[in-house]
A and B are shown apart, each in its own frame.
Chain A
Amino acid sequence: MIAMYYQNPITITGIDLPWIPSMGTRFHLSSDGVSLLMALITNVVVMVSMYVTLSENKAGQRQFYALLLLMQTFILGVFVAEDMFLYYIFWELSLIPAYFLVLLWGESPKIKPITLRFFLFTLFGSLLMLIAIITLGNMGEVGNYDLSIIEGLEIGIPTQLLLFVAFMVAFGIKSPIFPLHGWQADTYEAAPTSVTIILSGVMSKMAIYSIYKFVLPILPDAVNQYGSYVVLAATFGVFYASLLAMVQTNIKRMFAYVSMAHMGIIAAGLFPLNSNGLHGVMLQIAAHAVNTCGLFLVAHSLYKLNGSYDMASFGGLRQKMPLFAGAFLVILFGAIGVPFTNGFIGEFLILNSLYSYDVLSAILAGSGVILGAVYMLNLYKRVILGTDNKTNYLDINDVDKFLYLSLVFVIIITGVYSSWITKLCDASIQTILHSNYIQ
């Protein structure tokens, strides 16, 4: 679809059918460059997640894969829904398979309270969002949840502020943005790795996409007046998550905080409201999805070696597993944003736009990036370059080899040639900026 969209955007059609006429809701799906990018990312991340499970023989395999595929369906629905009520239904539905996947196939003895916390956090945010959506849908003369109608509403500043708070709590929990991250590290650590990859690689992006798609065009005055508070919270979260990542000894939990730090940078990049920042966000969304897949895949490969995520139980793996060591290095470079890898350009554009928006936020985000390089290289030193612990590990098998090499290829290619993402998203970004923010 992306190739077809490049040739002629009209060739990608949507669907618009009456759904519940008495409520004014429609089954309206449509796409632009950004939603097609999100759909591609979703499908790639789910594919990686499926590959991760290939070497495992899970109990209840049929149910497991069916739930993964249902989650994929509902997440895709979030990215292409043009009716806000339909969007909400997809958003809520995506939580149900996620809940059961974590609860039934989770890897922690405390899985029940962890899953309950994940569910309650997300549900609380969703309820606030539902109230906001119902308010918006009933603001016009005739109840209507279609995005094109809602975007045209004249909303007073006090109402915009209340709606902004409701939406940002919902999206701040899902992303997560500091201080609404309480569910994240435990859930990412306890979930099966294939599910963690989807939670981190795609579900967190649902929140960023939603801010971009709904909050920026519908609530421009609230974004202009109060966006700076979100930027400050998000960038402080980058710094805070980086500090937490530094002191972790559990590799999977450390990657959970790495993911939170990166999501903070992405969320902050939305609010300076300039073309560079938004393009940086889209690039970083794509980069984070690939890199986070890679990082959790690394954690999974290490866990398969000796059944532990403890950093101290590994050392000197470069001698026994040279291919794994090389692939891990490239993934790590992507995650810390080394030039010519996918993480560099997006991070640079976001930091650049943050600097012109608020210097303190830029410093907080920048320090998170520097700390990121410190703890990631320290991890690599201890696990790959450290003293050989004399265990006879075998290098990655053929399935993993294919997966790692594919990820390395994408990290480098997207780092060198990222303009396909900016071209794909440009029309959508310019529409949002020019209709609401650039006079």
Chain B
Amino acid sequence: MNILILLLIPFVTAAALLILSRKYTQTIAVVSSVVSVAVSAS
């Protein structure tokens, strides 16, 4: 697994929040943080 994925998860989510999403902001942010933890621990 490439270490770059750790940086891409929050970065892509932040971009998506700013560009695309106006709904479910909290849910998207929390899911992203949980996925980040899961990827770094797995």
Among A48-56, A138-146, A208-216, which stretch is in contact with chain B? A48-56
Cα separation A73 to B34 with both chains bound (whole Å): 14
Chain A residues within an 8 Å CB radius of B3: 1, 12-15, 29-31, 80
CA distance A197 to B21 in the complex (A): 26
Q: Flag if B1 contacts A51 (CB, 8 Å).
A: no
Cα of A30 to Cα of B3 in the assembled complex, Å: 7
Inter-chain CB contacts under 8 Å: number = 106
Partner of B42, one of A3, A31, A44: A3
Q: Is the interface of A mostly helix, strand, loop or mixed?
A: helix
For chain A, the bracket of interface size reads 35 or more
Q: What is the CA–CA distance of A50 and B34 in the complex, to the nearest angstrom? A: 10
Q: Are A69 and B42 in contact (CB under 8 A)?
A: no
A39 touches B6 (CB 8 A): yes
Is A77 touching B7 in the complex (CB atoms < 8 A)? yes
Asked if A43 and B37 sit within 8 Å, CB to CB, the answer is yes
Q: Is the CB of B1 within 8 A of A61?
A: no
Q: A50-B29, A50-B30, A69-B13 are in contact. Are A4 and B42 (CB under 8 A)?
A: yes
Query: Could you tell me the distance between the alpha carbons of A3 and B26 in the complex, rounded to whole angstroms?
Result: 29
Q: In the complex, which residues of chain B have a beta carbon less than 8 angstroms from the beta carbon of A30?
A: 3
Q: A47-B34, A62-B21 are in contact. Are A68 and B29 (CB under 8 A)?
A: yes
* A344 to B10 CA separation, bound complex (whole angstroms): 33
Residues of A within 8 A of B (CB): 1-4, 11-15, 29-31, 36, 39-40, 43-44, 46-47, 49-51, 53-54, 61-63, 65-70, 72-73, 76-77, 80
Q: 19 A-B residue contacts at CB 8 Å?
A: A1-B41, A2-B42, A3-B42, A13-B2, A14-B4, A43-B36, A43-B40, A46-B10, A46-B36, A47-B34, A47-B36, A50-B29, A62-B21, A66-B14, A66-B18, A69-B10, A69-B13, A72-B36, A73-B11
Which 7 pairs of residues, A with B, have the shortest CB-CB distance? A69-B14, A65-B29, A47-B33, A43-B36, A69-B10, A72-B10, A73-B11
